[in-house]
């Protein structure tokens, strides 16, 4: 029913968050997803990375950033000297929004209503993990983390004050880096992404 546990008390552990996401009916995305994908990482991480939503592979694995975008993220984190295992990696939206094209499941960008409904879970992760710095990867994550549109080109390389002494940082989404058509522009954007991850890591130190 509509008053099942997901609408009850805010979760206080990451296990409760994971169970709550699995039972979540706050929006309709659960219907076509394999499973919910909660955040992953140490409960006391100093740095939280927030993506948009799980992709095809994440939906199947139940883990964030394990597909192609995860490959770019892993490479960039290594280049920035940031151990992924010391970060908490999550998404603004916890179920995979997609449309069927033949057998392929094509990514669809979540809407403001889905982002807003799912902020309940991101906020719970924020309260439990209490990171010093939160990095929003791309525009959807930035909308969720900052509560308003936050243009990346204008705000990257800045510490944005969030409640409870938390600093926010915005940078590109790794999937965007895969799509930049021009090779030179792509390399530049990737280099900026690595710089932004370094910036965030030092801010969190």
- Give residues in contact with ligand URA (CB under 6 A): 51-55, 58, 64-65, 67, 69-70, 91, 175
CA–CA separation, 203 and 77 (whole Å): 15
Find the shortest distance in angstroms from Cβ 91 to ligand URA.
Answer: 5
Burial class (CB in 10 A: 0-12, 13-18, 19+), 75: middle
Q: Which is nearer to ligand URA, 40 or 124 (CB)?
A: 40
Find the shortest distance in angstroms from Cβ 192 to ligand URA.
Answer: 18
Q: Which is nearer to ligand URA, 45 or 161 (CB)?
A: 45
Q: Which is nearer to ligand URA, 70 or 168 (CB)?
A: 70
Q: Which is nearer to ligand URA, 11 or 70 (CB)?
A: 70
DSSP states along 156-192: TT--EE-STT-EEEEE--HHHHHH--SHHHHHHHHHH
Find the shortest distance in angstroms from Cβ 1 to ligand URA.
Answer: 30
CB-based contact 178:198 (threshold 8 Å): no
């Amino acid at each position: 029913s509509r008053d099942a546990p997901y609408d009850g008390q805010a979760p206080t552990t990451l296990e409760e968050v994971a169970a709550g996401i699995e039972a979540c009916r706050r929006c309709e995305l659960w219907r076509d997803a394999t499973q919910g994908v909660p955040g992953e990482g140490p409960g006391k991480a100093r740095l939280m990375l927030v993506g948009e939503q799980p992709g095809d592979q994440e939906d199947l694995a139940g883990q964030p950033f394990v597909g192609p975008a995860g490959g770019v993220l892993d490479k960039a984190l290594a280049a920035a000297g940031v151990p992924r295992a010391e970060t908490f990696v999550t998404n603004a939206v916890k179920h995979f929004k997609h449309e069927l094209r033949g057998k392929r499941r094509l990514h669809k960008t979540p809407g403001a209503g889905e982002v807003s409904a799912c902020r309940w879970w991101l906020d719970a992760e924020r309260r439990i993990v209490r990171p010093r710095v939160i990095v929003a990867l791309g525009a959807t994550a930035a909308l969720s983390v900052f509560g308003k549109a936050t243009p990346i080109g204008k705000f990257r390389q800045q510490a944005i004050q969030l409640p409870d002494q938390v600093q926010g940082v915005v940078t590109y989404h790794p999937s965007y880096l895969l799509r930049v058509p021009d090779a030179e522009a792509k390399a530049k954007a990737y280099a900026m992404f690595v710089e932004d991850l370094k910036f965030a890591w030092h801010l969190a130190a």
